[in-house]
Amino acid sequence: MEEISIVSPQVLGAGQAFGCVNGDFRLNVRADLMQLWPDEPDHFAIWATRHITDDPDADTPVGPFHRRRDFAAYIAHELAARPALSSVRHIRKTAMALGERDGAWHITLDDDSRVSAARVVLATGNPPPDWPFRGPVADSDRLVRVPWRGDWPDHIGRQARVVIIGSGLTALDALHTLRLRGHEGDIRLVAPDGLLPPVQTDWHDAEPLAWPQTSSAAGFLRFMRDTVGDLPWEKTEWQRRFESLRFNISAAWQSLPATEQTRLMRRLGWLWSLARFRAGPQAHGSAMAMLDSGQLRLVTGLVTGIDSRDDDTHQVRLASGASLDADAVVNCSGAGRDQLITRLLDDGVARRHDGLAARPALTPRLQLLRPDGNAYDTLFGVGPMTAHVAGDVLGSASIARQARGLAARLITQQAG
């Protein structure tokens, strides 16, 4: 039998999303939608009822929204309960490069050692954020480039003037933790559209919709628009219809040509993200309270740089020419660039996607491609790095379903 090794510097199951230390950061969907085992959709919700006994704030009128770190504890619990999984070899290093030679893959690790493998699955998740502008910024306790772990609020004084870059779910997490810690200073949130994510509703009974055959971005969009109708997106019924679209959206997405996928992502990627990623009631409530009190102001614009002064304050430059003074800046601009994938593309190990050159081309069976266009049968991707081709594979439930499909194919391939 093939031996399986996992290369990751982090504890298994505690990656970028759930490996956070901040108890104020919560899952952004209710417990029954966090599905690790596709055959047992309520597994986490039931586990949480039994095991999370110290978190009364999880409960909301639209369902329980647990702490993200509790989901990591759940995964750890599930691993421990399965000896075959807990005995998998875990190499706690970062993979820097990958090359194929003599019928095997050779992976270079960050201490320059190497491991070899017959088959490789890239499951690198969401890469840590980069500052969303060119030019050097020295990360520090108060210039927070990667806020996901959540260890930064301790370094920010209560009176500090804070600038948050970005207005998605990470920004709402930042606002929520600052509010719970009694932050008193002004907060400015800079985003190109100046919009905050809508809040989760108590939608239920979304029926999977069959998508029509369409090979154009316009047809794809029309079906979505006709389905959600003219309702305001804050409404429960809007979200229920939107969720009914999502069941089969990945298959519909995969039937679009790469040029149409790219067109949709470029034109509407931001709007999709806003509608798709709704905030939990706790974080959304904090943002609304801070807006109401005037402590939080939304600034529509793009950040183009940060200049630090000798007195440890910062000037955040905007594309409009204006600037904002800050004692702390929190970068909530989203996932950055995956270093390993970038290296594979630059080294000519994997072919680039036709429309999105920074992403790898992939077959529907999640194989990466050789530069000549032939698919590897020993190099695969799974999770967020496949979303540009595979569709909405961003949340834990869809990643789990995709991983199960890939695992089944790998087992069949090995047997054959």
Ligand X SMILES: Cc1cc2nc3c(=O)[nH]c(=O)nc-3n(C[C@H](O)[C@H](O)[C@H](O)COP(=O)(O)OP(=O)(O)OC[C@H]3O[C@@H](n4cnc5c(N)ncnc54)[C@H](O)[C@@H]3O)c2cc1C
Residues near ligand X (CB under 6 A): 7-10, 15-18, 27-29, 34, 94-95, 123-126, 148, 170, 340, 383-384, 394-396, 399
CB of 5 to ligand X, least distance (A): 11
Question: Given the DSSP bridges, would you call strands 114-117 and 104-109 parallel, antiparallel or unpaired?
Answer: antiparallel
CB of 387 to ligand X, least distance (A): 10
Q: Going by C-beta distance under 8 Å and a sequence separation of 6 or more, which residues neighbour residue 160?
A: 142, 183, 185, 326, 327, 328
Residue closer to ligand X (CB basis): 305 or 336? 336
Residue closer to ligand X (CB basis): 71 or 220? 71
CB of 290 to ligand X, least distance (A): 20
DSSP single-letter state for residue 398: H
| Strand partners of residue 189 | 164, 298
Residue closer to ligand X (CB basis): 15 or 153? 15
CB of 219 to ligand X, least distance (A): 29
Residue closer to ligand X (CB basis): 27 or 191? 27
Residue with tokens 């950040």: 303
DSSP string, 290-345: HHHHTSEEEEES-EEEEEE-TTS-EEEEETTS-EEEESEEEE-S-----HHHHHHH
Residue closer to ligand X (CB basis): 47 or 220? 47
DSSP string, 209-273: PPPPP--SHHHHHHHHHHHHTTS-TTSHHHHHHHHHHHTTHHHHHHTS-HHHHHHHHHHHHHHHH
Residue closer to ligand X (CB basis): 8 or 140? 8
360 three-class SS = strand
CB of 356 to ligand X, least distance (A): 18
Q: Going by C-beta distance under 8 Å and a sequence separation of 6 or more, which residues neighbour residue 37?
A: 43, 78, 400
CB of 148 to ligand X, least distance (A): 4
